[in-house]
Structure formats: structure tokens, C-alpha cells
Structure 1
Amino acid sequence: MKLSILDQSPISSNQTARDALNESLHLAKACERFGYTRYWIAEHHDLPGLACSAPEVMLSLIGANTDRIRIGSGAVLLPHYKPYKVAETYNMLATLFPNRIDIGIGRSPGGSAEATNALSDNFLQQVFKMADLVDELLHFLKSDFPNEHQFSKIKASPVPENPPIPWMLGTSEKSAQLAAQNGLPYAFGQFMSDLDAVSIIDNYRKAFISNKFSHVPEVLLTVPVICADTTEKAEEIAWSSLIWQIQQNRGEGSRVPTIEVAKNFELTVKEKEQLINLKQKMIIGNPQEVKNVLTEMQSKYKIDEFMILTITHSPEDRLESYKLLAEEIFSH
């Protein structure tokens, strides 16, 4: 079983954005030592409590301070950008850090309507053109536009010896089919979806068309995990993440709360129901319990890689969660 990291670079109530980004760097360096396969950092815009709006900047820092772990975006929100610029940016990273760069491709806005308007014009129209945007990006990465194409004479420089590997990120049948049609590996965001991932992933495999980037269908599943020495401790640590999601639903929660604040947070009847649903989407427990759940999911979804999202108030608790899980998975 492969393990990887999705980092949203959360800002805790006692942190600045700089503190959170420094913790992201620390996490990537530590998880390389722990044996994780890849580290992806998410892109968000003007969302309180999330520090990273420009993954490519953080990836430069993280790449320069690590040696082996694959690094990438989770995701580049492609409707905001011209494919040529995205290809240039990630070709640059792939030139600096050979054979280590992934491009996670997503279609969500990553922020409010106001932030979306500030970032780009005609976002919704670009979403409708997502298939064309992906096609153009892949042609730039492969440098294989037909001779008659308007962009056939230009390159997304610098052209690396090993191009970055594009992944399609999503939570729906539509994203899975787009990945399959373009022969791309697929990352399913289990933590963001209520849909039947089993059938979506199965249909992706059936429709997969091999290409330069991937010869066989490849799937990873992104799941939220809180792991600690004991079940009781994991349950306690998870309060911060759970209540923060409730606060965000209220339009509050500018920072991840402490465990104490989270435990004392007053919930409405409806929010108590939401809390139960949120908890059911998380994997919370001691290392053996978490491993058992992942093993069951591995069999159910027929995959061999999980991307782990862990949000805690304490950076130490987050790092320990990743460490304990790696020790349990990789040493047995």
C-alpha cells in the first residue's frame, strides 16, 4: 500500500499564515523520511484558515528542501488559467526537480464568487470548456501539437527531460471520464463526495485509453485521517477538525480551533447531525484501526495508493498522525 499526503496548509488559531506554510515545508520533509510517495499541496483563494493560494511557489521551496518525494498541486484550478502558462510553470519545476513533479488538475473555483471574478473572466464558460483546456495542456506538456495547429511552433519552455505527470482530480463521473479519455491517472476526493466511488472508479478503468503519461489506469483515493497512539486520543484530536468544518459552514472559523474550544462549541440540533456525518467520512483511531479501515477500502476500491488529509490544531499532532500511520503500514 502506498501512502501520500494532501496538504491544505491549514492555519491554527495560534498561527500566522507564514507559520502554517513553514509547517507545510516541515511536513513534506518529514514525510519523505517516513516513506510517503508524494506530497501535494492544495490551491485555495481568500479562504480563511488556508494559507496556500499559489502551490507552484510552495513546490519550489519544498522541492529545494527534499530529495525523493514526488511533489505536486492538488490541484491546479485550470479554468482560472491559460494551459500554456500552467505547462511553462510545471515544466520549470520538472526541470529543477527531475522526475518528481505531478500536476493535479481540477475544475473547482477554490474560493468565493468574488475571488473567482478577481482571478479570471468567464470562469463558468471555462469550466464548460474543461475538456478543451485539458487537451491543450496535455499537448503543451507532450510538445506534440499537429503541424497545422496555431501553437505548433511554440514550446512550453523549458522542456524537461521527464515531463511532469498530469493527474485528473475529481469527485464525479464527469471527472473520471475525462481522466479515462485522456489516459490520465485519477485521484478521487473521497472526503468531498457522497457519490458511489466504486462505480465511478470502475467506469474509469473500463473507459481508460492509454497515452504517453499513463499506460494503465491508476487511481488514488483521498481520505481524511486522524491517527494517534490510542483511539481515545485520536477522537479528542479530531474535535478541532470536525468543529472547524461546522464553523466554516456557518461562515465563521477563520482558524482551526483548539481542542478545548472545539469541545465547548455550542451546536444546533442540525449541526449535531452534520457532525455525525462529517465524522463518518473520517478515519479516526489508533494505527492498527486506521490500517484496518484502509485495508478494507483498498480491497473495496481495488487501489494501491491513499492520499491522506490530516488537519489538527497542533502541528505536532498532525506530524505524529502521519508518522504513526507510516510506521504501521510500512513496517508490517
Structure 2
Amino acid sequence: MSLTSNKFRLSVLDQTPISKGSDALAALQQSIQLARLTDRLGYTRYWLSEHHNTTTLAGPAPEILIARLAAETRQMRIGSGGIMLPNHSTLKVAENFRLLEALYPGRIDLGLGRAPGGDRLTAQLLNPGNTFDPQEYIKQLRDLESFLTDTPGPGNFEGKIRAIPHIDTRPELWMLTSSGESAFLAAHFGMALCYAQFINPIGGPEAIRAYRSRFKPSATLEQPVTAVGIFAFCSDDPRKVHETQALIDYRLLGFEKGQYDEIPTVAAALAYEYTPAEWQRVLHNRRRTAVGTPEQLRDRFAGLAADFDVDEFIISTFTEDPTDRLRSYELFAQLFELTPREIPNFKHEADPAPAYPDDSTNSLRAATS
């Protein structure tokens, strides 16, 4: 299978990373720039993650960022990747996303997960009623379905409680999973499924096959829809490929060691001496990533597409230099032969224009102006 012989969709997962020496304000402005760029380049959707109690990421509230980025874009779908449902009131999630759908009809995705997006103590403060019981999560999914379809059920007291505003369209529902269990839930509730290869590189194709075989049509989805999320970076400079792979290796291992507040640098990553056991973890974690030149990534993604039997990839990218992240998304658009969109120029005077270091990114400069 080749990327040129099949039409693939490409999407963004933005975890709002904060670069070393920068801050959250700059990270959020970079998200705005990336959303504008990928809208023009022809990406399908742009998702925001939910994380808490960390100084390395700037996005604890996807629903707020969705409202801003949907206003900054014109055609790309904007959504959550995801809302960690146990952290929240089900009714409030339904109302938030109905309001977003009312503001941007046909452009809102509601991706759902059950991980805490941080530590359990923080999750308990976010929702003191959170029991961390899987059955409670299933109840929340059932109640959310009732609220979004205006169907009487126990969770809305048989229709007495309604999620407003009342509108004719619905956000597109996605289940995010890094295990087979949530794939079964997505099939049961008739939701689209995104497998998080960037979290767990084991069992993804099997989870997607199980989802398809058990899928039940719902009021919002008639046929199974799938995607795969992966950490990825593309550069035509082999040196940057090497440095960014080292940075991602170091960052993922740091997460596994509980170093959530460290913002890694290329220098620190290249200088670090791995123990044999740590290096085995690095090799395992590289299955969560796709890093290389366009030529290298052509084969990598063709293999992933064949293994997973999907036609959409959702890419999350960490780089030391934010301009390298922008350039990577442009190269991916070229690799996947996305169709650029003609979108009228618009900008806010308060938003700084991105600064590019050389003339090799003139096309990016034009796209984000």
C-alpha cells in the first residue's frame, strides 16, 4: 500500500506544549498559528487535549480552546481529543458541546476518554463525585447520549432535564482508546473510534477489528469510523530528524519516570546516557512515534495504514523550536497530498505574526499571515 494510491485524511492533536524558556501564553498563540495553517493546508480536524497539574502543557480546558480556534478557522473540524468524562458533570459536557455546535454547526467533534488527564488526586478535585468506577463511566456515556439526542432516560430523569441550547445538529462523537475495552464501548454506543498509538503501541489493529465487528449503528453514526493517533515529526533535514527523535525518546521516558514538569531540550536529550533497561523502553516507545524524512515516513505510514486498515491519522508533534512543528505539518500535508483550501486572510491585531528564521519557510509565512 502506498500513500499516493489511497486518499488519506490527516488531522492534528494539539497538546499545547510549552517550549523551554517560553510560557503558556506563547504556547496558546502557537496553537492559534498552527490551527490557521492546518486549516489552509487541508487537514480534516484539529483536536485539543485535556491535561491537568503540569507546567509543561497549557491546555486544561479543550472546550474553551475549541471556541477560540473554531473562530480562527473556517472549514476544518475542531474538537476535543479528548474530554476526560469522569472529570466532569455529564450535563455540563453536553451543554458545552451543544453550545459549540450551535456556534459552529457541522464543525464540532466531541472526543471522549476516561483517563484522568493527570493524577488521581487532581481528578478527585475536578469532580469530587468521581468514583473511578468503570461502570460509572458507562453510565455517563449512556446519559450523554440521552442529553445529546433528547431521549428520555434515567440520567435526565426521563426527559425532565434538557441540555440546552436545543439545536438540530449534534457534535460528532468519538471514543478515544488505548485498550480494547473502550473499543467495545465505542462499538456498543455507535461512536467513531480513535486508537491512541501514541499511548500504547500494542494491540491497536486488534482493537479496531473488534470495534468494527461489534459496531451498532446509533442516532449519530450509521457505519464504523476509525482513526489512529501517533506522535510524529517530519523534516527534510536529517539532523533535525535525529535531534527530534532524541527529544521525543527522552520526553516519553521522562513521563514514564514521573518527571511531568521537566521541559526537555535537544541538548539534554543528546547528552543523556541510557541504561540498558531504559534503552529497551526507548525502543518500545518508538513504536508510538513516526519520525523521519518524507521518504522514510512514506513507508512508515503505509505500513501503519495496512496494519490498522484506517484512512485517517491524527498527528501530535513535539519540537524544541515551534517553527519546526509548523514546518513538519506542512511537509505532512505534502506527503499525504492534502488539497489546500482557499480561505480569506484574517487575523487579529493582538496576535503576533510568526517569525521564521529563513526563506525556506516562505510558504508557511504566507499561509499564516
| Distance in 2 (alpha carbons) for counterparts of 1:217 and 1:280 | 25
Residue range with higher mean Cα deviation, 105-114 or 278-287: 278-287
Q: Deviations over 1:149-192 (max 9, x none)?
A: 61403321112332111111111111011000111110110111
Structure 2 letter corresponding to 1:275: V
| Distance in 1 (alpha carbons) for counterparts of 2:44 and 2:33 | 16
Structure 2 letter corresponding to 1:112: D
Pair 1:317-2:351 in alignment: no
Q: Deviations over 1:285-321 (max 9, x none)?
A: 1113212211222122111111011111111111111
Q: Counterpart in 2 of 1:71?
A: 78
> Identity over aligned residues, as a percent?
32
| Distance in 2 (alpha carbons) for counterparts of 1:30 and 1:259 | 25
Deviation at 1:31, TM superposition (A): 0.7
Task: Select which of 172, 181, 184 maps to 1:165.
Answer: 172
Deviation at 1:253, TM superposition (A): 5.5
Task: Select which of 162, 171, 183 maps to 1:176.
Answer: 183
Task: Select which of 270, 282, 293 maps to 1:286.
Answer: 293
Q: Counterpart in 2 of 1:99?
A: 106
Q: Deviations over 1:131-154 (max 9, x none)?
A: 111011011111122599614033
Q: What is the total number of aligned residue pairs between the two structures?
A: 332
Task: Select which of 297, 309, 327 maps to 2:304.
Answer: 297
Pair 1:47-2:54 in alignment: yes
For the structure 1 residues 173 and 180, does the alpha-carbon distance in structure 2 shift closer, same or farther, using more than 3 Å as the test?
Answer: same
Q: Counterpart in 2 of 1:250?
A: 257
Q: Deviations over 1:40-93 (max 9, x none)?
A: 010001023111111111111111111111011111111121211100000011
3-state SS of the aligned residue for 1:166?
A: strand
Taking the TM superposition and a 5 Å limit, the aligned residue runs for 1:1-332 are 1-145=8-152, 150-252=157-259, 254-330=261-337
| Distance in 1 (alpha carbons) for counterparts of 2:222 and 2:169 | 16
Deviation at 1:328, TM superposition (A): 1.5
Structure 1 letter corresponding to 2:261: S
Deviation at 1:237, TM superposition (A): 2.1
Root-mean-square deviation (CA, aligned residues, Å) is 1.9
Residue range with higher mean Cα deviation, 322-331 or 208-217: 322-331
The runs of at least 4 aligned residues of structure 1 exceeding 6 Å deviation read none
| Distance in 1 (alpha carbons) for counterparts of 2:134 and 2:338 | 44
| Distance in 1 (alpha carbons) for counterparts of 2:100 and 2:78 | 10
Deviation at 1:233, TM superposition (A): 2.6
Contact 1:291 1:325 in 2 (8 A): no
